[in-house]
């Protein structure tokens, strides 16, 4: 049975819940809900395991905080013997308009500390990633406040639909592959 590790990046703790930086956790929660999988505490995070159409999905929310995400990713890849092609990192992206989905087979860390740590731990930038646009509507010097802030009212109204679309894209990645998923979901 083919296995996949889908990792949503975020920070643990009540003060981070519902923030833009934690969209990775929210997307993973949506996938778990769709696949009727429950989270359990594991080493370096919370994990839900789901089997569907002959595939096994490990849905991981690291508890290492964003800047040390690579520790959890590397550990669970080794534990479950998952290769780079079966890994998908789900993260926020300031460079994309709110709700824009972008799936790529590899790329730079783009200044994102979570991706930077994963790249360092895996010794390669060549792993699939799913970026969710959070926009960049902040004043100079206010990036941290924006990223760690909550959604606007307008964004809140669209968020559930965007989460659902994101979950469908992740299911597509697992069941139809990276290139078909990119063709179907990028920029939707």
Q: What span, in angstroms and rounded, lies between the C-alpha atoms of 74 and 106?
A: 16
The three-class DSSP label of residue 29 is: helix
Nearest one of 37, 76, 174, 8 to 185, comparing CA atoms = 174
- The question of whether 44 is a catalytic residue gets the answer no
Find the helix or strand (DSSP H, E) in which 163 lies: helix 153-176
C-alpha Rg value of the chain to the nearest Å? 15
Residue 78: is it exposed, middle or buried by C-beta count within 10 angstroms (0-12/13-18/19+)?
exposed
Q: Which of 21, 44, 76, 112 is catalytic?
A: 21
Nearest one of 26, 36, 72 to 57, comparing CA atoms = 36
Q: Which residues are catalytic?
A: 21
């Amino acid at each position: 049975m083919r296995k996949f590790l889908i990792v949503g990046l975020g920070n643990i703790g009540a003060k981070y819940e519902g923030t833009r930086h934690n969209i990775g956790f929210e997307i993973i929660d949506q996938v778990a809900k769709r696949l009727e999988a429950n989270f359990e505490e594991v080493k370096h995070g919370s994990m839900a395991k789901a089997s569907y159409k002959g595939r096994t999905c490990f849905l991981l929310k690291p508890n290492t905080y964003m800047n040390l995400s690579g520790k959890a990713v590397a550990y669970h890849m080794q534990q479950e013997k998952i290769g780079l092609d079966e890994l998908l990192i789900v993260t926020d992206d300031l460079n994309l308009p709110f709700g824009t989905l972008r799936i790529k087979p590899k790329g730079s860390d783009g200044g994102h500390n979570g991706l930077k740590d994963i790249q360092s731990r895996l010794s390669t930038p060549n792993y699939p990633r799913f970026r969710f646009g959070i926009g960049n509507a902040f004043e100079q010097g206010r990036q941290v406040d924006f990223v760690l802030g909550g959604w606007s009212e307008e964004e809140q109204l669209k968020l559930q639909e965007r989460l659902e679309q994101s979950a469908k894209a992740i299911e597509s990645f697992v069941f139809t592959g990276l290139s078909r998923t990119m063709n179907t979901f990028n920029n939707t």
